Chain A
Amino acid sequence: MQSRSSIDSSFSLSDDTSVTSLESSECSSMRVFLIQTARGLFSSSGGYKANICLLRHLASRGHAVRQLCYFHENEVEDYVQKLAQAAKHDVRLRRRTLQMRKGNDTADVKVNVAQLTMEDGVEIIALEKEAFDAAFGGKENLHNEMTRETAGYIEVPRYNMSQPCKHGLSKNIR
């Protein structure tokens, strides 16, 4: 692996409230965005653990690291509460909602999104697992539906995600 780009000073800073000092760190720092697929903030998945341990180490060395992941119900609240009680880490929790349309044009699903920096320096953007799964037909249909929609997204080469068509995706006009 090699770093293709060195960061110049003109990259745009986030306008959200969880920006840490790492975002304005030295130019030699890396900024690593990792996309997890395992479910749960503390998933038992070996892949999840290997990924987050890499991020933790990079964070400890001053690099900015952020991961997209999934939380189970109450997992974020429990984590924040635990840290507050231990007075170990001042967590700034930012909440949002992601509106997800289902592929079959039924009612939208509101997915809670939590953004915070963990005590180990790893920034997370976490989507509520149960609601996210519901957007793909729920637990029973999740794998089949995600596989089907992912295949459609990958195999139809020209999408423009901002212009939805009948099946929830859209043709790319770039």
Chain B
Amino acid sequence: MSDFVTFLQDEIRRFAPTHIISNDGLSMQATSAFELPDMDVCRVAVVHTAEQLPFGPYAGGVPGHASSPREFDLLRQLDGIWSVSQAIQDYAMKYGQLQTKFFVHHPWTYLEEVAHQLPTQMHNWDKPFVGMINPCAVKGSSILLSLAETCPHLDFLVYKSWGFDDALAKQMECLRNMT
């Protein structure tokens, strides 16, 4: 890890940013004023999920986040904390008395990538699969599994991402209508 941290810090120094944006404890520590005391830079965290925060009922619910309770101190040292929803802003205040600011995502997040227009209508109601992207516990994989068991006449398709693990893969292998 030390090699990665050194690499990251070197890259940041080379770029000479005015702003650093991160969303995990490792990055917050590596870019902190303690680690990079010579840098006059605005440090900002974006909180995409409540599980990112090191307190409250959802702490530690996403792998790779909330590794240590001391991340709380790192958050408090930042210049800004961006909550992506009112719910996360309320959660941070309720469980951590942590002040954050709610900003909506940039509109391009919801538009197609080239012309930034509304996404093309897929007209895919006739397609055979019921799909789920990134099935995992926090996104309701239990609902998907139950649905697949209850509806053997339907075919299900999942797209694996960060939350998918071997335990879930085994559960899905038992279902003949799951791809």
- List, in ascending order, chain B residues with CB within 8 A of A44's CB: 133-134, 159, 161
Chain A window 136-174, contacts with chain B (Cβ cutoff 8 Å), 1 for yes, 0 for no = 100010010011111101110101011010001110001
> Does B29 sit at the interface, judged by CB under 8 A?
yes
- List, in ascending order, chain A residues with CB within 8 A of B6's CB: 161-162
- List, in ascending order, chain B residues with CB within 8 A of A101's CB: 2-3
| Interface range for B | 35 or more
Decide: B22 and A35 in contact? CB cutoff 8 A.
yes
Decide: A170 and B48 in contact? CB cutoff 8 A.
no
* Cβ-Cβ contact count across A and B, 8 Å cutoff: 172
Binds A, one of B8-16, B89-97, B169-177: B8-16
Decide: B106 and A33 in contact? CB cutoff 8 A.
no
List B76-110 residues whose CB lies under 8 Å from chain A. 79-80, 82, 84, 101, 105-106, 108-109
Look across to chain A and name the residue whose beta carbon is closest to the beta carbon of B52. A47
Known contacts A7-B18, A44-B159; is-contact A143 B68 (Cβ 8 Å): no
- List, in ascending order, chain B residues with CB within 8 A of A7's CB: 16, 18
Binding site for B on A (CB under 8 A): 1-7, 11-12, 14-16, 30-35, 37-39, 43-47, 49-51, 53-54, 56-57, 64, 66, 68, 98-101, 103, 120, 125, 132, 135-136, 140, 143, 146-151, 153-155, 157, 159, 161-162, 164, 168-170, 174
Say which residue of B2, B3, B19, B63 sits within 8 Å of A31 (CB atoms).
B19
Look across to chain B and name the residue whose beta carbon is closest to the beta carbon of A56. B108
Known contacts A32-B17, A53-B106, A68-B8; is-contact A155 B68 (Cβ 8 Å): yes
